[in-house]
Structure 1
Amino acid sequence: MLTWQQLRDLKIREYEDAADGWGDVSNRSDASRVRVDQEMSIPVRSTQKGETPDAAVGRLNRLRDNYQYLHSECGLIRTTLNALAADLAAPQRKLKQALEDAENLGFTVNSDGTVTYPNPVPLAPGNGKATPGAPLPLLPGAGEGQGNDNKAKAEDIAERISTAVGDAAEIDARHAGVLRRLKAPAGLAVTKEMLADEGRDMKAVQKTAGGLVDKGDIPHGKSPAENKGWWDHLTQEQRDEYVTLYPAEVGALDGIPSIARDTSNRMVLAQTMAQTQIDLDGLPDNPPQYIMKGDPPSSVVNPAWQKWVQLNDRMKGMEAIQARLDASGTPGKGPNDKPTSGLPQAYLLGFDAKDDGRAIVASGNPDTADNTAVYVPGTGASLENAHGDINRMSELWRSANQQSPGQSTSTVTWIGYDAPDQIPNALARHYAYDGAAPLNNFMDGLQTAQGGPDNSHTTLVGHSYGTTTIGAAAKLPGDIAADDMVVAGSPGMLVSDASDLEVGSDHVWAEAARTDPVPALGQEALGGRKLGVSTWNGIPYNAGPIISIPSDESFGAHRMDVDTSGHSGYWDQDSTSLQNQANVVVGRYNRVKED
């Protein structure tokens, strides 16, 4: 049981020093994770093939996962110790003030917390003694006024001592319970059970350390510049605490450094994958889609099957993201199977598994890139289908790197909006307008993190309905943070002319394969002559006479040569379609082959 003497003598600085030590381990672990990925795994992947290198990479991945786990768990210990120190400071101050008051009055604080005060009448036997919460009679011979006064003061001091000790004991027990959670089993493997438990640890620390690192202080609905301002004014220790305690919230902030977002989102991804696998393991494998239910029985959709499909779809998308994170350094194949440059470090700039899911994956760090391309996919884009969209930007990076090997390039897959699930839904414009603001915020955030509009040549690349979303973003107030736009297989961009897209018609580039049916269908479905006045969020608006499709000559864009077929071949390896996009991305317009 905690005594007032222990609380008085408590050296809070020792808790803070211990927190600093755990914080140092956490930070070193994160730095080591990055070093393993960039300085060890990438060279092995990019230069060696075979069973031995593959085994080495597998061990390096395990080491990376260990460092990531250490970063999170040690960070939680740091935050808990800091919160414990901060919480104990208040009752200790109260105690010391009570002890000081007792000393100034000439009272004696006994070992059990009771307070003895002197008898105000010299002839009266003994002294008075105050116990917190217990009414005391006046001593025999005590003067009516002064005796009552000393008695009340002593009772107040005793009560304050008792309250301070009680508060400290409650704080100690609460934080001790959390600290006991923060331990791991022996061994080198970081299991799914450990990662899922890490998520529960995080929630436990959030409850106990909320006053130290307040979730409410994280910007919500603010501009990228405001997000950056908040981040820049934090101390490094506060940044570390927010990253390990609220990684999902920090990872979603446009405008802060990509490294911080990547570190945060990787933790969320690992924990979500682990919990999803545990949930899948708890279901029968491939349960029947329909079951008989009711009286009389009838065929109904099996809830277990629905859950199984949902979890499998989620896992499929997360595995695609993890595969790209693990592929950094992996070379591709060029003509005659000649190896091409290995992929750069991947950065997870956004992740959310709810509903259709969100994923933002960059090949190369956009904060420092000479050239940046952001790809907005179209109908069907979701976490489940992330594999194809991520691969397209891997191919665009390879091609851009070949066109301009002396410059650094980052290509970003932006699955950051609710795209139409299927073609009939793509007839609606609200998906584009709903996705416009998030897209603009992300683009502004990239520019903010880069340090301004002149620090990277930026290209927005859209496919199918993604081009419609780009058009909606360009119609919002303010300038869109891009230098060029490349649109492929566009059904329409909600504007009638390339000059309406803010970057200027000379910086709008369109591709349309002859066998791609979407541009022609888009003219019929999205054309202003068909829809006329519509509504968005209940507000009537007139989009104007959207007669031209970007690939039409009347639209006023550069029409690039296309040698691929169908609606999804624009990123085929070594194709002219892909090389044209790459030349725009790196600003080598003279190399673009126009139709």
Structure 2
Amino acid sequence: MTHTGAVGVPWSVVGEAPAYLQSDPVGGPSTPIDALQGIALLDRLDSMPRGDVRAFLQANPDAVRTMLASPPSASAVAAWWDSAPASGRGILRSLAPQLVGNLEGVPYRARDLANRDVLQAADEQLETRLGGVIGRAEREELEARRHMLREVEQALEAGEDRRLIGLDVTGEGRAIVAVGDVSHADYVTYLVPGMFFGVDAQIEAWTATAQDLVDEQERRLAAAGRSGTVAAVAWIGYTTPSLVNVASMELAREGRDALTASLQGLRAERGDDQPHLAVLAHSYGSTAALLSLEEHDVNVDALAVVGSPGSPARHASELHVTGGNVWVGAAEWDPIPASGVFGSQPASRAYGAKLFSVAPGVDPATGETLGGAVTHNDYFARGSMSLRNLALIAIGEGAQVIGPDHSRGDFARAHTRIR
């Protein structure tokens, strides 16, 4: 396959390919370790004694950051991990937990353990610094960072079977929490947020939303008499925008690259046992997801966007979604879907996606009354028509989804656009 840029031009023409598309550098046994990169460096490190690994990391404090900024492909990492000696993997997890915890292709269980070590170490370091003599401004900064770490801890402690599969404790932070066994679940759903969804303010709530989705999916599978296991990923893997920069696509492109890497990491982790993979994306996060599925070498089985400002893709067929399984939800009083800020209006008939209802109504399968989404931030509310439909979309039950005209599985009369 020839990888291309956003306009179909080979990367050899337009310049260097993104990091996740680059080939891994190679190096023989005589190559100095500080000249190695990618898999060659990982191979060398996992064969070294603990003391030598520690000495290398101390002498090269930017080695982990550099590796994560330009990582090997997830499939190459998965192959390396499988072939690396257990002792070498253990040394790296204990001495370089940030690397093991965030390197796509490493099994999620190992990443969870490594990231929890990073979380604990960061918390202890903050407590030590806060216990010393520091200025007011520094104290406020450290207390804010401590609050962010506590939010991640609470997200992990609030429910069973949760794994911390991505963590960055610097700056505004990034955190990715899996609810359920993403390594083995039959259905895996990624939840991609929009503006104002920072780790400090939202990781606990976003993880709770992932739990609500999992609970709803399990209920729907049982009602349909189907077997299957589900997992959801509360993904805050990029810096979400504020009012200052929401009109720019810069952070959406950052989200595009980060989401691509995460999805490729799941594909590599699962190998021959691939799940039904869905992405549910909100607002600005939908633009990041649309960019990923249009421009990058990754595909999913279902995509649903809500409150979406669009992307350069003009039609659902331009997205790497199996069978054109693209869905759109838009609340009546949400102005964003009709804005076309980033080029397209996914809720329009011309886009070619299926619309689903987010309005209040009665569930025809259970008879229960469901709430409706009124504004831009109501789409994932527990007990809502929107969450019901999103759950069904992500487990391949599109025929049971309620359309905007409140018919089941009939989208011929879908609204042409949001008023």
TM range (shorter): 0.7 to 0.9
Residue of structure 1 in register with 2:43 after alignment: none
The yes-or-no answer on 1:408 pairing with 2:229 is yes
For residues 170 and 386 of structure 2, the distance between their equivalents in structure 1, rounded to whole angstroms, comes to: 34
With over 3 angstroms needed to count, the CA separation of the structure-2 counterparts of 1:280 and 1:510, relative to structure 1, is: farther
The CA deviation at 1:82 is 5.5
Residue of structure 2 in register with 1:324 after alignment: 155
Residue of structure 2 in register with 1:436 after alignment: 256
Which AA in structure 2 matches 1:375? L
The answer as to whether partners of 1:251 and 1:262 remain within 8 angstroms in 2 is yes
With over 3 angstroms needed to count, the CA separation of the structure-2 counterparts of 1:472 and 1:487, relative to structure 1, is: same
Residue of structure 2 in register with 1:225 after alignment: 75
With over 3 angstroms needed to count, the CA separation of the structure-2 counterparts of 1:401 and 1:206, relative to structure 1, is: same
Which AA in structure 1 matches 2:275? S
The CA deviation at 1:309 is 4.0
Aligned partner (choices 348, 359, 365) of residue 181 of structure 2:
365
The answer as to whether partners of 1:436 and 1:469 remain within 8 angstroms in 2 is yes
The CA deviation at 1:250 is 0.7
Residue of structure 1 in register with 2:355 after alignment: 559
Which AA in structure 1 matches 2:229? S
For residues 380 and 591 of structure 1, the distance between their equivalents in structure 2, rounded to whole angstroms, comes to: 32
The yes-or-no answer on 1:467 pairing with 2:286 is yes
Of structures 1 and 2, the larger Rg is shown by: 1
The yes-or-no answer on 1:383 pairing with 2:199 is yes
The CA deviation at 1:517 is 2.5
Matches within 5 A, 1:515-526: 515-520=333-338, 522-523=339-340, 525-526=341-342
The answer as to whether partners of 2:197 and 2:236 remain within 8 angstroms in 1 is yes
Aligned partner (choices 93, 103, 125) of residue 243 of structure 1:
93
Q: CA offsets, 1:84-131, max 9 Å, x none?
A: 6xx8xxxxxxxxxxxxxxxxxxxxxxxxxxxxxxxxxxxxxxxxxxxx
For residues 565 and 281 of structure 1, the distance between their equivalents in structure 2, rounded to whole angstroms, comes to: 47
Matches within 5 A, 1:193-592: 206-207=54-55, 220-282=70-132, 304-305=136-137, 307-329=138-160, 345-385=161-201, 386-405=203-222, 406-420=227-241, 422-452=242-272, 455-478=274-297, 480-503=298-321, 506-520=324-338, 522-523=339-340, 525-526=341-342, 546=343, 548-562=344-358, 563-592=372-401
With over 3 angstroms needed to count, the CA separation of the structure-2 counterparts of 1:504 and 1:457, relative to structure 1, is: closer
The answer as to whether partners of 1:83 and 1:208 remain within 8 angstroms in 2 is no
Residue of structure 2 in register with 1:293 after alignment: none
The answer as to whether partners of 1:397 and 1:411 remain within 8 angstroms in 2 is yes
Q: CA offsets, 1:134-160, max 9 Å, x none?
A: xxxxxxxxxxxxxxxxxxxxxxxxxxx
Residue of structure 2 in register with 1:73 after alignment: none
The answer as to whether partners of 1:474 and 1:502 remain within 8 angstroms in 2 is yes
The CA deviation at 1:249 is 0.6
SS of alignment partner, residue 413 of structure 1: strand
The answer for unaligned runs of 5 or more in structure 1 is 1-78, 88-204, 285-302, 330-344, 527-545
The CA deviation at 1:565 is 1.9
With over 3 angstroms needed to count, the CA separation of the structure-2 counterparts of 1:517 and 1:312, relative to structure 1, is: farther
Residue of structure 1 in register with 2:417 after alignment: none
Tell me the number of residue pairs that the alignment of Structure 1 and Structure 2 aligns. 336
For residues 235 and 553 of structure 1, the distance between their equivalents in structure 2, rounded to whole angstroms, comes to: 54
For residues 552 and 280 of structure 1, the distance between their equivalents in structure 2, rounded to whole angstroms, comes to: 53
Q: CA offsets, 1:435-466, max 9 Å, x none?
A: 222211110110110114x6200001111100
Which AA in structure 1 matches 2:218? N
With over 3 angstroms needed to count, the CA separation of the structure-2 counterparts of 1:281 and 1:556, relative to structure 1, is: farther
Which AA in structure 1 matches 2:294? K
For residues 49 and 112 of structure 2, the distance between their equivalents in structure 1, rounded to whole angstroms, comes to: 25
TM-score for both structures, normalised by structure 1: 0.53
The answer as to whether partners of 1:325 and 1:346 remain within 8 angstroms in 2 is yes
For residues 496 and 234 of structure 1, the distance between their equivalents in structure 2, rounded to whole angstroms, comes to: 45
With over 3 angstroms needed to count, the CA separation of the structure-2 counterparts of 1:323 and 1:414, relative to structure 1, is: same
For residues 318 and 381 of structure 2, the distance between their equivalents in structure 1, rounded to whole angstroms, comes to: 30
The answer as to whether partners of 2:255 and 2:285 remain within 8 angstroms in 1 is no
The CA deviation at 1:321 is 1.8
SS of alignment partner, residue 199 of structure 2: coil
With over 3 angstroms needed to count, the CA separation of the structure-2 counterparts of 1:265 and 1:500, relative to structure 1, is: same
For residues 80 and 190 of structure 2, the distance between their equivalents in structure 1, rounded to whole angstroms, comes to: 25
The CA deviation at 1:218 is 7.0
The CA deviation at 1:552 is 2.1
For residues 280 and 584 of structure 1, the distance between their equivalents in structure 2, rounded to whole angstroms, comes to: 47
For residues 266 and 113 of structure 2, the distance between their equivalents in structure 1, rounded to whole angstroms, comes to: 17
For residues 582 and 243 of structure 1, the distance between their equivalents in structure 2, rounded to whole angstroms, comes to: 35
TM-score for both structures, normalised by structure 2: 0.74
For residues 210 and 320 of structure 1, the distance between their equivalents in structure 2, rounded to whole angstroms, comes to: 30
With over 3 angstroms needed to count, the CA separation of the structure-2 counterparts of 1:589 and 1:272, relative to structure 1, is: same
Which AA in structure 1 matches 2:173? G
For residues 486 and 283 of structure 1, the distance between their equivalents in structure 2, rounded to whole angstroms, comes to: 50
The answer for unaligned runs of 5 or more in structure 2 is 1-45, 359-371, 405-419
The answer as to whether partners of 1:280 and 1:311 remain within 8 angstroms in 2 is yes
With over 3 angstroms needed to count, the CA separation of the structure-2 counterparts of 1:477 and 1:240, relative to structure 1, is: same
SS of alignment partner, residue 256 of structure 1: coil
Q: CA offsets, 1:543-565, max 9 Å, x none?
A: xxx3x311222221111100222
